[in-house]
Each structure stands twice: as C-alpha cells, then as structure tokens.
Structure 1
C-alpha cells in the first residue's frame, strides 16, 4: 500500500472480542450440585457448559462423576442404578466403576472382550455442602487452586446456601456484583444507600474494589437492618464492602467501621449450563457472623433469607434483561463508562476460552418460563 493511500476505516477501530462469546475456562474446580441432592446410592444429573455429568454417591458415601452417556447406546447414566460403588445403566445394565471403566456387561458372550473404553470420569471434591468437579484437563486438578472459606462451619458464623439458575452469560453476574452503582435497583429493599468507590486494584487474574456504604435515610428492609452494624448491636455507621473477582470465583465482604472481622462474607461461582453459555447456575455461600445475643441469629434467619432472596430476584431480573438484549441484537451494544467494569471484563476475557464456533453462532435461547431453583 502506498504511503498516501487512504487507510481503511476498519483499520482505525479497536477490535475487541465480545465478552459474551467467551467461554469460562474449564481448568478450575466448579460446583455442580448441592451435596444434599446427591443421596447415598443415588444419582444426580449435573451439567457444565453443555457437558452432561452423572454424579452418584456410592454406599461408602463417596461421590463420583462420570460422563452422562453410556458407552453402549448413549443413554444417560444418571438414569441408572447405584450398586455399592458402581453405577449400572438402566437400559442394558452395563456397569461402570467410579473411574469410568466398564466393570460388567451381563450378557457378554464368553471369549468376547469388553469395549476398549468406558466413559470419561471427572475429578471430584466435596466441600462446603457442595459437589465440585474439575471439567478440564484432569492432570491439572491436583494443582488447581481450591476455594478456601475458613468462616464456613465456624462456631462464630452461620452459612446460607444459594443455588439458582439465571438465564444469562456468567460475565453479567460478575459485573452486577462488582458494580455497586446499581443500588437504585434495590431501593424498595435497601432504602436509599450511597455507595462510594474508595479505590480498586487489578491484575491478570483479579479485580478487587472497596466501597463505602453510607446510609442516606429512608425506608430500610428489616433483613437489611439485621445485617447492618445497628442491627448487630452497634451504632449505625458506614460499612466498607470489598468485592473481588478472583477468576473464576467472586467474593464480597462487609466489614463494619472499626471491626476486625467481616459481618458477613459471600462466596459465589457462576457455572455455565449450556454450550452457548447463555445460562448459568449461581452457587453462593453467605457466611453471617452471629450477633452477641444467643439464639438471635436463628430467630432472624427467615428475615435474612427473605431479604437476600428479594435482592437476588431484582439482580436476576436485571441481568436476564441484559442477556435478552444481547440475544435480540446479536452482539454487545452497551456503553460502559465505569473503569472498574472495563477492568473485570478484561480479566474475564483474557482468562476465558473461545466458545466453539457452533455454540457462538447458535440461535438465541428461549426466555419464556420461570427460572428454576
């Protein structure tokens, strides 16, 4: 091209991959079920980004995770029967060990060898009342970081578990929690609150922001009052809220002014369900410090649950509306001006993985019907 030739218009534009077309990285530990849903000698149909996973708990109490397709006729193994530590397909009774190897084919003729392969197995860990699987390279599982939640199960705290399906790309959930400028959305629950961004830090795999939450008066939900410093027996003072996306998880801590320990801590993971990753399942653990009055936390628990459910319902409404707009337009057309959100988008984009071409160009998901629990 000659020096004085006109430069194509497209060459002057910054080309950035649409974050909603970036898949979550599989080489991490992801919760795929609440432990209580995987009963002893029972099965549970889980999913990760379109991969169907059959969980089953053996007689010993150990949980196993297998590809949810029998090697014989591809019938879901989650429809099968658990016999001690093996899982038997409901169709032709092929039996599988926890490592995915075939242990028995009842009608296999003498002299015939079993098929050379069984089904894929996944590394499994059970912690915090959740079942985690490692959907990526199994050789990386042992060295992959696992969430550390010292307040879970501590005598000083009580934990509330959340498990909800949300019809949106997982990145919308990270943005929603990290961007506290949307408190107007929660005015009917929280009253008037003025969040002030004190500052933030970012790196290749994380973004951490600190907000000062200043009560501005007006009506406040009783559940919010119970979580505030005033509701815990202290004075009504501003709280410092720290929110961190440490790929691929997210945490929030509320520390009252002058306190050493957080009043409550939230740990969340957003696990894609479908291959297009336009639906995710949010797993959350809200660890709440017990007030000094014995038994008060138990009396307040229904109110706290109601409060948190109302806040989550409003957030879900907003992020599902964002996803619907993306589906209708086929691309991300929002105009973000908050540098903090631009930072977390970069973290999610650079640490993620491209979606398969067929998934990225799939038809928009149907949005009718209620979200499931």
Structure 2
C-alpha cells in the first residue's frame, strides 16, 4: 500500500456520486483504504472500513439493515457508526464482544458524497463549492484516470497541452496568441488568471461560447480544481474537477459543469455539449495512462520544468509534504497559447 502524508487523512475527498448509491452497499477506495458506503433503511448515510472484524469478509457484499449493515458471512450487524449491534445465534443473555468497524466521516453536497478518513466530521469542504448558485449545475459525472493525483491535477490545469492532445476541439495548433498568466497562491491553494485572450480557437468555443471578460483556473487543496469563464454578456461557466486518489496510480475524477446567467438547459448540454467534453476527457485519460505506464518503466525519474509549468511545483509540494510551498509567490509569465 502507498504511504500518504498523514495530513491527507484529515482532509475531505469525494468518493461517489450520490445517485450511484442505491439499495446495495458500494465499495470505494480512498488513499488506498477500502471503504463501504451505504444508506441504512432509516435513511442515514454511512461510511465504514470495508471489513467485518469477525472473519474479515467485505461488508460491501452485505445488506442494509434498519440502522446500518449486516455482514454477508455470519450476519453480524453494525450500526451506521460501526458499533456491533447483533450477532445472529448469540443467546440474548450473552454480552456482545467489544468490537466495532472503523467509522469514516461522511457528508453529502451538491450530488457528491465526501469522506474524511480520520473519522472526524469537522472542517470545511473546498471553498469553490460555495460559489455555485443553487440550480446552476448542468451535469455531474464520475470516472477514473490511470494517473497519480499530481499528474491528474496538472493535466486539467495545464492549457499548453491542449494544442496537441485536443487539436481543433479546445485549441487549434497553428493559432497561438500571446497572453499573460498570473499565478497567485493563498492559504487554501492558488489561482491562475489568464489575460489578453477573450476568444479561443477551438470548436467548443465557436459553438458554445462568446467573448470572455475573464478566465481563471482555481485550485483548492487537497484536490479540487476549477476553470471559470466570465463573459462580456454576464454569463458564467465553471468546469470543476474533484480528484481523489484511490491508489498511487489510479485517481477518481468527479466532473461538474455549472452555468449561470445564460441559456443552457441541462438536456441541451447533455445532448450537444457533453459528447464533445467526453471526447476531451477520453483524450486526456489516454495520454495520462501512457504517461503512468512509462513512469513505471523509468521509476524514480523527475521531470524537467520551465517557467510555463505554473501549477506543478505547488501541487507536487503539497502532496509530498502535506503543506503549501513556503516560498510560493505571485508572479506573471508570458505564454503563447
């Protein structure tokens, strides 16, 4: 198993889209830890370590009870906090053993189930979640990339690969224009503000967008990233990706699109916009899988970087040390994008 920095177990990560949790328990993995998610018959949402303490059967193969879950092997019953409630076949006058299943803190917000592995239900979810107006979400989607979380985050926030990986869709390779990118770190993460490019050369812009007033990329530690476009006509589009490490080489990705102040019904977005965004995702996933496989062929190597690699140093330092880089400072670079 991968050893993650201890501080990451005290942070919130999304684990599942709420609509994927039905009448059966669901197994997920966060930071290499197997977890079972469920909703007891009384409606309470719970997250527990996916292991019965009796004979170590996976609780995700069990069934819901009124207050929790029953193990599929011998039927031991646990409540939503992991306390042992009943052992089938045990006489009523016999005390239950003092065992329990490790409890994971769990919250629901805007269609996602969030977990905190140390079991403490405290601390805030990523701040960007509060920026979205009620009813502005147009879709929510869950997938996984074969990539380390640092590589996954960098891919989403890096505009320079788009000419090569998404030619014609996001940008056209032969139409680069000079622009300024300003990197601004803060206590919770950073933002990158892009100036001097109100239009984009790809098909997605030509079909669905209009002149932009501003463009910025936002990162909230530990793994929430967002690209926000504000338009001259008052519209706002936010594409958010939340990244959760399953293992060192597999990262869960939760993508959402929020739209404000412009006509974009959910049915139209799903029918027309989503197929193109899905193609962008598949292209990124394919490249990240190639990158991950090649890193396994060359273990221990470090990548070369230039001033154009704005986000990598901050993200890599955070995931290695558990803290933001102490020397991170605001600065600007000129790029051809």
- TM-score, length-normalised on structure 2? 0.83
Larger Rg: 1
Q: CA RMSD in A?
A: 2.7
Q: Counterpart of 1:247? A: 221
* Residue equivalent to 2:333: none
**Residues 60 and 85, structure 1, Cα contact 8 Å, conserved in 2:** yes
Q: Say which is worse superposed, 321-330 or 199-208, in terms of deviation.
A: 199-208
Structure 1 pair 119–300 and aligned structure 2 pair: CA distance change class (3 A): closer
Contact 1:44–1:78 (CA<8 Å) still a contact in 2? Answer: yes
2:110 counterpart of 1:134: no
Whole-angstrom CA distance in 2 between matches of 1:169 and 1:305: 25
Q: Structure 1's 215 and 128: CA in aligned 2 closer, same or farther, altered over 3 A? A: same
Q: Distance in 2 between matches of 1:86 and 1:215?
A: 53
Q: CA deviation at 1:146?
A: 4.8
- Does the aligned pair in 1 maintain the 2:126–2:221 contact within 8 Å? no
How many residues matched?
Answer: 314
What is the TM-score of this pair, normalised by structure 1? 0.76
Counterpart pick for 1:336 among 305, 320, 324? 305
CA contact (8 A) 1:194 1:216 kept: no
Which residue, 272, 291, 304 being the options, matches 2:245? 272
* Equivalence for 1:228: 209
Matches within 5 A, 1:195-210: 196-203=179-186, 205-210=188-193
Q: Is the contact made by 1:22 and 1:352 (CA closer than 8 Å) also made in structure 2?
A: no
Are 2:29 and 1:47 aligned?
yes
Task: Work out the CA distance in 1 between the residues paired with 2:180 and 2:320.
Answer: 24
Pairwise mapping of residues 239-318 of structure 1 onto structure 2 (< 5 A)? 240-248=214-222, 249-256=224-231, 258=232, 262=236, 264-274=237-247, 277-289=248-260, 291-292=262-263, 298-318=267-287
- d(CA) in 1 for partners of 2:171 and 2:12? 37
Contact kept, 8 Å, 2:26 with 2:38, in 1: the verdict is: yes
Structure 1 segments unaligned to the other structure (5+ residues): 1-19, 230-236, 354-373
Which sits farther off after the overlay, 299-308 or 94-103?
299-308
Shift of 1:342: 2.6
